[in-house]
Amino acid sequence: MKHLLGSLFLILLVLAAGLVLVIYAQGNRLDKDGKLSGSGILQIDTTPDKARLLIDGKKRGETDTSLENLKPGKYTVKVEKDRYQTWEKVIEVKEGLVTPLRVTLFPTNPSLTSLTFEGVYSPSLSADNKKVVYGIQAGDKKGLWVLNLTDPQLFFSNASPKQIVVDTASLPFSSSTFVWSPDSDQILTTVKIPKAESSKSFLLQADQLNSNPEEVTTRVEEIKAAWQKEVSEQLSSLLKDLGEEAQTLSRDAKSVSFSKDETAVLIVKTDGSALVYDSKPSPVPNVKPQFSTLPSADQYFWFQGNNKNLILIEKNTISILDTDGTNRVNIFTGDFDPNSVYSWAGGSKLVISINLNSKANPLPNLYTIDLD
């Protein structure tokens, strides 16, 4: 009998301990009055890390960190780090849930580094945002070049620009016009023939030197139509995946582009206004999709370091902000080509086209803005 009672007591003890663990895992804690109350967790990761964290104005250590036993409600979260611009936002913590917060901080005085020196003609970004093609019209490098906007995967990999076609006396590719294929593997280039009122078109491979370029002059319209059809089908499919509201908001838009994970869409209207429809505004479960109207700017495009930042171009200024329109910070102010601003694939830098010495060369060069 005693053995049976002992076994029952042990079973009840195990069940009670399991119940306590479940209650604890759900964020429930005893308050100062001994009453059981719910709580949540705020998990904060920043790039770079070791940033100062303030919650409702009170210091709460450094990132990366998790703050437990927070009462459900809204908190003003501020992230600070020397040499970086401050980030601040009101974040809601929900009972029994972990609220992940990933913050990218941007430097107050980013450095500028030259990528090219000979002058570049008409740089153009690929469809996957990972390559830029441009012409060089001087010296022994005349022709078309492709710059990969990605960091080398291996220490011995070469990240330098690669020449994909060489100018000849009859075919000055360096002053041609370019169109990227939807898969970013090919470039359709149209070259004006010197001393003639005609042109020729060629289909170039973007990852190699095209010693014998494939002429496609008679098929230009056919190729463009096929590429446009592919782009339209991709766009329709991605919008369909986001739902009816995203499709409605994108109707009659001037341009539509998607975040890296394809869960959010940047929509620029014909009047120049812009908004973001985000199907997953938070990693927290059951958060409804939201759309945010963006501040006025001349151009908008995605920052490639994450899915929650955008780049804005306005009045000789480059700025970055969160997709909900908050935390706008200036990155660069000066004279640059507003049509030639690109985000490095990993988000470590921006690429811009500027001319720091127009007397030496009428063409601009490409420079990186370091964001680390």
Give me the domains of the chain, ranges plus CATH numbers: 2-104 (2.60.40), 119-217 (2.120.10.30), 238-370 (2.40.128)
CA dist 36 and 272 (Å) reads 53
- 1's tokens: 């009998």
Q: What is the pTM of this model?
A: 0.88
CA dist 149 and 146 (Å) reads 10
* pLDDT per position as a tens digit, 249-278: 999 999 999 999 999 999 999 999 999 999
* pLDDT per position as a tens digit, 174-222: 999 999 999 999 999 999 998 888 999 999 999 999 999 999 999 999 9
Confidence of residue 156 (pLDDT cuts 50, 70, 90): very low
Q: Position 102: which residue type?
A: R
Q: Is the pLDDT of residue 104 over 80?
A: yes
Q: Is residue 51 a contact partner of residue 105, using CB atoms and an 8 Å limit?
A: yes
- Indicate the length of the chain as a whole number: 372
- 284's tokens: 């927290």
Q: Is the pLDDT of residue 24 over 60?
A: no
How big is the chain by its Cα radius of gyration, in Å? 27
Q: Is residue 116 a contact partner of residue 109, using CB atoms and an 8 Å limit?
A: no
